[in-house]
C-alpha cells in the first residue's frame, strides 16, 4: 500500500492480512518454522493525520506511540486470521503478538537529518505552517510536500530474546512490526524517540538476533529486477552476496522501495545467514519449499 489516501480502511487491512495468513499458514503446514514481522507505512500515515486533525481537542502522540499502535492492530488481526488458517490446515500452534522495542543510537546522524517521508502529501503553504511548528517537510515534486522524519539504523531488537523463547515453545510469533518502536538508551534507561525504523533493515537485525536460517521479504513483486523499467529489465533468480552488492552499488534498486529490501537480505546473508529471499507474498510457500532459487530472488553467501 502507498501513502495514506483513505484506502487503508479496517476492512481492507483485515482482507489483506487474512490473505497473507493463508500463505504463511501454508508455509507452517509445510514444516517451516516461521517468525513474522511486517511494515506499517499506511497505518502510521493515517495516525499522523488523526494527530493533526484532532490536535485542538486531544493531545497528539509521538511517532514511537504511533508505531506501537500499529503493532497491536496489525498483530491481533493477523493472529485472528492465522489462528483460523492454521486450524483449517490441521496445525495446532498458538500465535502471539509482542509489542516490540528496537534500540537505536541517540547519536545516529539520522536525527540531525530527517530523511524518511511519511504521511500524506500537502501543499507548500500547508507544509510551511507545520515547518513553523518545528516539523521537517520536504518538497517531493509533482505530488507536493511530505513530512520527513529521522530513520535511524536499528541496532538491536530489544524484545527479540522473548520472541526467540516463544518461538522455541512452538508458537508463531509476530514481532518488531513497523521496524519496532524506536527507543534510545539514556540516563533514564530506554525511552521512546520520535523516529521510524526501516522495517526491512529491522527484519535483518531481527533475523540475525533470532539466529534464523533464511530471511524472506514478502512484497508485491515476484523478484528484484535489474534495469527496472528499461528494455534490458531482467529478473534476478539466485545471486551471491558479492553480485547483489555490486548491483546495489550500480544503482539498480530504488531507494525507499527495492533498495532497502535488497540491502536487508544482503546484509543478513553477509552476516552469516544461509539465504535471503525477495518474492511475492503469494509465492512465499513455494519459494521456501522448492529448491532455493526456483521462485523469487535468492541471495546466497557465495
Overall residue count recorded for the chain in this entry: 302
165 binds a copy of itself (CB under 8 A): yes
Residue 2 CB, shortest distance to a copy of itself, in Å, is 14
Triad 74, 275, 280: Cα angle to 5°: 45
CB nearer to a copy of itself: pick between 51 and 279? 51
65 binds a copy of itself (CB under 8 A): yes
Determine, following the binding rule CB under 8 A, whether residue 171 of this chain makes contact with a copy of itself.
yes
User: Is residue 8 a contact point for a copy of itself (CB under 8 A)?
Assistant: yes
Work out whether 181 is an interface residue with a copy of itself (CB under 8 A). Answer: yes
For cell 500499529, what's the residue? 70
Interaction with a copy of itself in 77-136: which residues (CB under 8 A)?
77, 79-80, 83-84, 87, 94, 96-99, 101, 120
Nearest to 176 by CA among 201, 151, 193: 201
Q: Return the number of the residue (24 or 183) whose C-beta is nearest a copy of itself.
A: 183
Q: Is 176 left (phi over 0), alpha (psi -120 to 50) or beta?
A: left
Among residues 197, 204, 106, 199, the alpha carbon closest in space to that of 151 is found at 197
Question: What does R_g of the chain's alpha carbons equal in angstroms?
Answer: 19
Does residue 61 bind a copy of itself (CB under 8 A)?
yes
Residue 16 makes contact with a copy of itself by CB under 8 A: no
Q: Assign 225 to helix, strand or coil.
A: strand
Among 90, 134, 141, 189, the residue binding a copy of itself under the rule CB under 8 A is: 189
Site for a copy of itself in 198-257 (CB under 8 A): none
Q: Which cell numbers hold the place of 77? A: 488481526
Task: Annotate 240-268 with DSSP letters as a single string.
Answer: EHHHHHHHHHTT-S-TTTHHHHHHHHHHH
**Residue 181 vs 278, nearer CB to a copy of itself:** 181
> If binding is defined by CB under 8 A, does position 10 make contact with a copy of itself?
yes
Cβ proximity to a copy of itself: between 192 and 259 the closer is 192
Amino acid at each position: 500500500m502507498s501513502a495514506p489516501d483513505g484506502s487503508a480502511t479496517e476492512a481492507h487491512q483485515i482482507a489483506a492480512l487474512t490473505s497473507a495468513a493463508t500463505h504463511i499458514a501454508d508455509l507452517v503446514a509445510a514444516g517451516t518454522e516461521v517468525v513474522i514481522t511486517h511494515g506499517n507505512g499506511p497505518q502510521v500515515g493515517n495516525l499522523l493525520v488523526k494527530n493533526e486533525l484532532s490536535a485542538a481537542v486531544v493531545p497528539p502522540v509521538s511517532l514511537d506511540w504511533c508505531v506501537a499502535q500499529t503493532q497491536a492492530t496489525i498483530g491481533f488481526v493477523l493472529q485472528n486470521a492465522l489462528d483460523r488458517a492454521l486450524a483449517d490446515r490441521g496445525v495446532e500452534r498458538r500465535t502471539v503478538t509482542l509489542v516490540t522495542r528496537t534500540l537505536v543510537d541517540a547519536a545516529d546522524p539520522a536525527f540531525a537529518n530527517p530523511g524518511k517521508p511519511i504521511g500524506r502529501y500537502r501543499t507548500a503553504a500547508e507544509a510551511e505552517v507545520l515547518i513553523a511548528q518545528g516539523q521537517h517537510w520536504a518538497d517531493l515534486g509533482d505530488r507536493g510536500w511530505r513530512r520527513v522524519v529521522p530513520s535511524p539504523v536499528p541496532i538491536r531488537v530489544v524484545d527479540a530474546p522473548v520472541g526467540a523463547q516463544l518461538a522455541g515453545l512452538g508458537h508463531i510469533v509476530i514481532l518488531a512490526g513497523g521496524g519496532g518502536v524506536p527507543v534510545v538508551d539514556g540516563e533514564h534507561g530506554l525511552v521512546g524517540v520520535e523516529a521510524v525504523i526501516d522495517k526491512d533493515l529491522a527484519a535483518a537485525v531481527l533475523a540475525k538476533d533470532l539466529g534464523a536460517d533464511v530471511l524472506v521479504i514478502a512484497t508485491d513483486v515476484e523478484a528484484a529486477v535489474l534495469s527496472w523499467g528499461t528494455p534490458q529489465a531482467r529478473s534476478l533468480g539466485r545471486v551471491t552476496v558479492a553480485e547483489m552488492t555490486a548491483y546495489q552499488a550500480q544503482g539498480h534498486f530504488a531507494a525507499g522501495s527495492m533498495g532497502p529490501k535488497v540491502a536487508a537480505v544482503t546484509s543478513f546473508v553477509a552476516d552469516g545467514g544461509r539465504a535471503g529471499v525477495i518474492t511475492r507474498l503469494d509465492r512465499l510457500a513455494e519459494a521456501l519449499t522448492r529448491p532455493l532459487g526456483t521462485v523469487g530472488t535468492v541471495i546466497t553467501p557465495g
